[in-house]
Structure 1
Amino acid sequence: MGSPAAAYQRGAGGALDVDRAFYQRLADGDRLLVESFEIPIRSGRAWTVPKGHLCRIVTVEGPQVGDLNIWHAHDPRERLWAARTRQLQRAHVSTFDRLWSTLPFLRPLVTVTADSLASYGVDGEGGRVHDLLGTRCDPYVNRMLTGGDYDFHCHSNLVRAVLPHGLTEFDVHDVLNVFQCTGLNDEDRYFMKACPAKPGDHFEFFAELDLLCALSTCPGGDLSAPMWGPDVQDPVELCHPLGVEVYRPSPDLLDGWKSPERAAYRNLHGMSMP
């Protein structure tokens, strides 16, 4: 007996039908590097990606989990909607999956164009990479579980990263855990495993809109050591920086592409309008 069909089905030519040939051409085609930087361990940084550009996150020295937030650069009320992306795409995303934005916008913010860990698949314990199941570590849960304060959780790193862009803690949202290996155990509880990335592994996406992105290099590093529990020690030796590269593809590769429109529904919600 097979597993149940996905609840959200995609039809040919519909909103969930991705032009794979187009995005493969972007992944393989000529491009110009326009920005490159590294994010040190246990820190965060925010940057912009113009629409029509590619952004690549790289494990430059060794395995490292990164917590990613994405907003529309011109209206941060539009931002990554992790829950709906799990339903429309998958709980762990890879090449040709999209990350969708919140209501009332509901459109793809990015499309994944390259993933060097795509072949990881599902391991023997049900682990998969690039996780939308969980969210960022934060000092509030840490205080609740341990009674202590630590100010460099992913939530805090992201808060500090976006302050220069006029955003606050209230704008930080559920993340895509890039390079993170997770799943649900036999008790239907969330687990995290050691990051399988090697130096030079990468996760790349195409900006469908003008974007503001923020990334935290998780203080748990590659997550091979537990972050909470009776035997926790500071895993600083497991932490590595992450690289970010922004590319402008050759203009001819964008022929026929246009930035997606916001959702067609006109926000009446059954109310009478004057």
Structure 2
Amino acid sequence: MSNVEAAYRAGKGSKLEIDAPFYDGLKQHNAKRTLIETVHIPLRSGKAWKVPAGHIFRVKVSEGPQVGDFNMWNLHDPRERMWASRTRQIQRAHVSIHDRIWSTLPFLRPMVTIIDDTLADYGEDAEGGRVHDLLGTRCDPYVNHLLTGDDFDFHCHSNLVRAVLPFGLTEFDVHDVLNIFQCTGLNDEDKYFMKACPAKKGDYLEFFAEIDLLCALSCCPGGDLSVDLWGPDAKDPLSTCHPLEVEIYKLEDSALDGWQPPKSPNYKGRHGMNMPDIDWSAKKRELND
């Protein structure tokens, strides 16, 4: 592994540093919480749900190993949605406890903070696989048709589209995902690979909602991804599919003492619009003189 310093650093004093003791104090058994809703996501389907700011939601393996493709929006303005690529840069390509999922420009703020993860100790396996990835994105019927020539409606993209339609969103609102419980990496050719999901019944990934959210999750039609979906040995992985659950919890008020929803950066510029042209080459020459 390379020991080159990360471009975006979250060490002591960084704007990316979080209050770890506060978030650890929100974990199960550390703060009183009340279960207010359970969302059941049938296999090969998708569901959407709302989470108020200051609440916790837990994505849970309810029966057997299963991958879930996750999307998220600001409940009041869906133009603000999770930004997988910037989160990869600011946090990491595979997220876990104390990592945050960030929103798109011009909002750029944490939408959630991960507070618990039963797979946190998985680390990196012998093939370089890690869990909860932001490297890949959702399976979709367009790539499926490209690779196979067949139409198949039950992909994560399609599941997410169907899930958000009742909330006034469309296919154009579905975006790059967090692949929860999915084990992935990059091989020696720097190409994306997927491995069988290591999650077992009862495993979960738990989030603290920093703002009011609309969330959606697809119970991936690829199941635990142990079956090749598009190669020469491809077959229907239905036998590997299981449902997922989402539990939403309200915290006692005292657990949130001192917490405030995060604000967007206070950028007041105009991106250089309505400004005189600048001869940057001349300025560079001045610097070099």
RMSD value, Cα: 1.1
- Equivalent residues in 2 for 1:89-104, closer than 5 Å: 89-104=91-106
Cα distance in 1 for partners of 2:239, 2:105 equals 41
Match of 1:175 in 2: 177
Match of 1:7 in 2: 7
Q: Report the residue type matching 1:49 in the other structure.
A: V
Cα distance in 2 for partners of 1:231, 1:272 equals 58
Shift of 1:266: 2.2
- Equivalent residues in 2 for 1:180-219, closer than 5 Å: 180-219=182-221
Instruction: Point out 4+ residue stretches in structure 1 off by more than 4 angstroms.
Output: none
Cα distance in 2 for partners of 1:215, 1:13 equals 35
CA contact (8 A) 1:104 1:267 kept: no
Shift of 1:100: 0.3
Distance 1:2 1:40, change over 3 A: closer
Larger Cα Rg: Structure 1 or Structure 2? 2
Shift of 1:83: 0.3
2:222 aligns with one of 220, 223, 239: 220
Shift of 1:235: 0.9
TM-score if structure 2 supplies the norm length? 0.93
Q: Identity, % of aligned pairs?
A: 67
Higher mean Cα deviation, 148-157 or 14-23? 14-23
Q: Deviations over 1:40-75 (max 9, x none)?
A: 000000000000000000000000000000000000
Distance 1:118 1:11, change over 3 A: closer
- Equivalent residues in 2 for 1:1-274, closer than 5 Å: 3-27=3-27, 28-272=30-274
Q: Report the residue type matching 1:35 in the other structure.
A: E
Secondary structure at 2:25 match in 1: helix
Shift of 1:81: 0.3
TM-score if structure 1 supplies the norm length? 0.98
Q: Report the residue type matching 1:225 in the other structure.
A: V
Q: Deviations over 1:65-102 (max 9, x none)?
A: 00000000000000000000000000000000000000
Cα distance in 2 for partners of 1:235, 1:188 equals 26
CA contact (8 A) 1:107 1:262 kept: yes
Distance 1:22 1:104, change over 3 A: same
- How many residues align? The count is 273
Secondary structure at 2:193 match in 1: strand
Give the gaps of 5 or more residues in structure 1.
none
Cα distance in 1 for partners of 2:167, 2:265 equals 26
Cα distance in 1 for partners of 2:262, 2:70 equals 21
Distance 1:19 1:146, change over 3 A: same
Cα distance in 2 for partners of 1:160, 1:119 equals 34
Give the gaps of 5 or more residues in structure 2.
276-289
Shift of 1:23: 0.3
Cα distance in 1 for partners of 2:260, 2:35 equals 22
Cα distance in 2 for partners of 1:196, 1:169 equals 30
Secondary structure at 1:220 match in 2: coil
Shift of 1:10: 2.5
